[in-house]
Chains A and B, each alone.
Chain A
């Protein structure tokens, strides 16, 4: 109180009038925020493209269609195409069990599902080497049956499934919790079976949340580096995903090619961001619509 009155009486024609002061604070905050974001987000993104195009567009294209790079792209897409649907199915099932029912141990289950988030990617890869490597528990059995997991594509898929495990579930659980069970219960009362309830009532409500989770899951699946690096054999053209290929090129002094492949991943990131914004907008609309008036 005192400081306010003192200020006003002490300098009546202060160059910092309250209005100007507010504006100054506003510009300071906006400036700080934008500078922070520019430094940490915009610049690195720009750097990727600048370095990729440093030797011109032809060199850029050549780097991308080069056989090992093309194989890396194919592998990345394949891994995502397997990992994402698996985690979607799991996420939906888990979200149904957790969000629509109340049972003891629910919090623990949520925490356990969140585990891959807090595990370093390197550790995520390590656990699969311990399980499936030749010196691991299942190794000798796998070798005897001529099944290759570690140092081959299945290992990469497994490691990717592990690290992207919680994404869809995490998106759906709060959403489905928020939406409550009223609509589903009404459907059951009206005689719908389990699948029908899910397909006709729940799914339309969660579709934007689901899409959101899929986007995040996919971005992470395609971009995973640490876990895949540990389980992959780094066999060019066979078990290198795009992020691994970026590292290989970087380590071969081939910076332009490295940034060229990286730029593809960066473009994917931008597309993900755009899609995400669109989905968020629709999600906001759904949220507003699905909340019945007077609901807690």
Chain B
């Protein structure tokens, strides 16, 4: 009994020690991504593993973690060993770069501002659109409940917010004060803020809360396909924002792990025809013209504004709206 206990103790200590040691023989890449990309990266990772085997003969494993974009960014800052980050917006990647984990010039290292695909914000409504929601202006009606995630943790949530703001700016001739009133009214109709885009989709579709979901375009299509075209409809607003989810290699991690070659190949593969095809299949708007042409009719036409034109870039937008004490904190007060 005495010996057995000691053995168990030793085994436990050894296990604990082994587990905290760095990488194993086989290269493993960790892709820390935002919330709705689960299905996308499931397919993409399989394709990349195949591709890498063909190119180098090496077997590689790719793991993924999903959650609200800025929550994921903070996890990486907090020590989550990501080789690659594929987040919802450039600002979250910048936050990681600021801590020295990614080179400051990451944005220019890959084509299209390091955004291999784009998306936008659309509305998801119940089948038949019983509340007759056509555009952003319907979202501030007193009888409408809106579901959108928490801008403090979710990237999609911030795109939603800015799209609403952009619409209000356009409608009110560029008045920031009126836009602020509009967005405040919209958030008064929001009963709950989930931490990520997928959480919000679950709330809307599974729990049956709300009349309209502000969703990533790809998430809306996915919801309809997964949960039945007989339950949901997509409504395309008159105006939306061009959302560019950014990808980057986390320099500090790949240099320490020695996985730079694989990590860089991983992000480049997103731009390859095969990668773009996978993205398009999952309802992300591809950049590559050849693929885009083939999927042109799958994506609704919508007038898009960009964050740079309308908001002066992410740094400014984040500081003004989403930082502690910013506009969002001032206007969102959950009430009974």
Consensus secondary structure, chain B interface: helix
Interface string of A98-141 (1 = CB under 8 A from B): 00000000000000000000000000000001000111000100
A151 to B77, CA, bound (A): 12
Chain A residues with Cβ under 8 A from B5's Cβ?
A: 85, 88-89
Chain A residues with Cβ under 8 A from B1's Cβ?
A: 199, 203
The verdict on A85 contacting B2 (CB below 8 Å), with A148-B79, A150-B79, A154-B16 known, is no
B199 engages A82 (CB within 8 Å) = no
Chain B residue nearest to A139 (CB atoms) is B79
Size range of the interface on B? 20 to 34
A251 engages B198 (CB within 8 Å) = yes
Chain B residues with Cβ under 8 A from A233's Cβ?
A: 65, 75, 80
B67 within 8 A of A: yes
A251 engages B199 (CB within 8 Å) = yes
A157 engages B16 (CB within 8 Å) = yes
Which of A150, A151, A199 is most buried by chain B, counting CB atoms within 10 A of its CB?
A151
Size range of the interface on A? 35 or more
A241–chain B nearest beta-carbon distance, Å: 14
Chain B residues with Cβ under 8 A from A143's Cβ?
A: 79
B333 within 8 A of A: no
The verdict on A237 contacting B20 (CB below 8 Å), with A85-B9, A148-B79 known, is no
Chain B residue nearest to A252 (CB atoms) is B38
Chain B residues with Cβ under 8 A from A252's Cβ?
A: 38, 198
A9 within 8 A of B: no
Chain A residues with Cβ under 8 A from B22's Cβ?
A: 146, 148
B66 engages A133 (CB within 8 Å) = no
B19 engages A150 (CB within 8 Å) = no
Which of B2, B16, B20, B77 is most buried by chain A, counting CB atoms within 10 A of its CB?
B20
Footprint of B on A, CB under 8 Å?
Answer: 78, 81-82, 85-86, 88-89, 129, 133-135, 139, 142-143, 146-154, 157, 195, 199, 203, 233-238, 251-253
Contact sample, A vs B, 17 pairs, CB 8 Å cutoff: A85-B8, A85-B11, A86-B12, A89-B8, A133-B78, A142-B79, A146-B256, A147-B20, A150-B79, A233-B75, A234-B65, A235-B63, A236-B63, A236-B65, A237-B63, A252-B38, A253-B202
Footprint of A on B, CB under 8 Å?
Answer: 1-2, 5, 8-9, 11-12, 15-16, 19-20, 22, 30, 38, 63-67, 75, 77-81, 198-199, 202, 206, 226-227, 256
